């Protein structure tokens, strides 16, 4: 993609690298996982993965393309205080894009009519919690007004798309789990916000989608 490309050209280029919003393809997509950086560990394919979805919201600003992120509330029982995309578990009968829009409205007050969905990135499995997360990519109106739900979201912020898509941004780190073993994961910091775990994995997978091998 040329650095001189117009916003419309960038939008079309990103959409061309994603999978379409099509429920018939969901079962056959390539999947990434928490354990991708741990060769000694393997994801268990016998797990009944719980479907979830997140909204990867892109916003065209004068300063450049931005990505909408949240920091989860400190009172939540899981992933407390972590940076995340708006999203959550799919309700029965929901498509991932319906889940992503519903959860974004519940968590940050995002009006679904202000979202132009353009496709699906690579699903991601979280070994600890057993979710298979579908990233749903969409462009958001720059005039949006957001209100965090205090029970779920502590902060809403934007990070530059160029920063998140820089291959040097996310670096492997290692942390000891409560069980005593060590797990590796991608991590980066933007203006004091520590982005790691599944969110970092989803961003890396999107980078591979857009800048790696061509997507059929």
Q: What is the mean pLDDT of residues 188-202?
A: 94
Q: List C-alpha distances in Å: 140 to 4, 25, 68, 136, 212.
A: 22, 25, 9, 12, 25
In this prediction, residue 40 carries a pLDDT of 54
What pTM, to 2 d.p., does this model score? 0.90
On the question of pLDDT at 206 being above 60, the answer is yes
CA proximity to 13, closest of 61, 65, 63, 88: 65
CA 27 to chain CA centroid, nearest Å: 19
The more confidently predicted of residues 171 and 182 is: 171
State whether residue 204 is helix, strand or coil.
Answer: helix
**Level-2 CATH architecture, domain 7-211:** Alpha-Beta Complex (3.90)
Q: What is the pLDDT of residue 216?
A: 36
Mean pLDDT value of segment 65-93: 84
The domains of the chain are located at: 7-211
- Number of CB atoms found within 10 A of residue 36's CB: 18
Looking at the predicted structure, is the pLDDT value of residue 202 above 90? yes
10-56 pLDDT, tens digit each: 999 999 999 999 988 887 788 888 656 665 555 555 568 999 999 99
Supply the DSSP string of 87-120, one letter for each residue.
EEEPPTT--HHHHHHHHHHHHH---GGGEEEEEE
Cα–Cα dist 53/135, whole Å: 6
């Amino acid at each position: 993609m040329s650095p001189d490309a117009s916003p419309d050209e960038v939008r079309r280029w990103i959409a061309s690298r994603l999978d379409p919003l099509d429920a018939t393809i969901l079962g056959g997509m390539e999947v990434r996982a928490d354990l991708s950086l741990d060769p000694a560990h393997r994801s268990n394919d016998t797990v009944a993965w719980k479907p979830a979805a997140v909204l990867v919201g892109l916003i065209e600003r004068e300063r450049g393309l931005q990505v909408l992120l949240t920091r989860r509330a400190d009172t939540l029982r899981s992933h407390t205080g972590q940076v995340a995309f708006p999203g959550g578990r799919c309700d029965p009968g929901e498509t991932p894009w319906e889940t992503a829009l519903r959860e974004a409205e519940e968590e940050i007050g995002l009006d679904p009519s202000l979202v132009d969905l353009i496709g699906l990135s690579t699903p991601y499995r979280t070994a600890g919690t057993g979710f298979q997360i579908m990233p749903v990519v969409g462009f958001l109106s720059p005039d949006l007004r957001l209100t965090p739900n205090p029970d779920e979201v502590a902060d809403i912020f934007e990070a530059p798309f160029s920063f998140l898509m820089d291959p040097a941004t996310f670096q492997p780190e290692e942390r000891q789990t409560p069980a005593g073993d060590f797990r590796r994961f991608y991590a980066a910091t933007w203006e004091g916000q520590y982005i790691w775990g599944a969110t970092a994995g989803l961003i890396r997978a999107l980078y591979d989608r857009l800048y790696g091998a061509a997507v059929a």
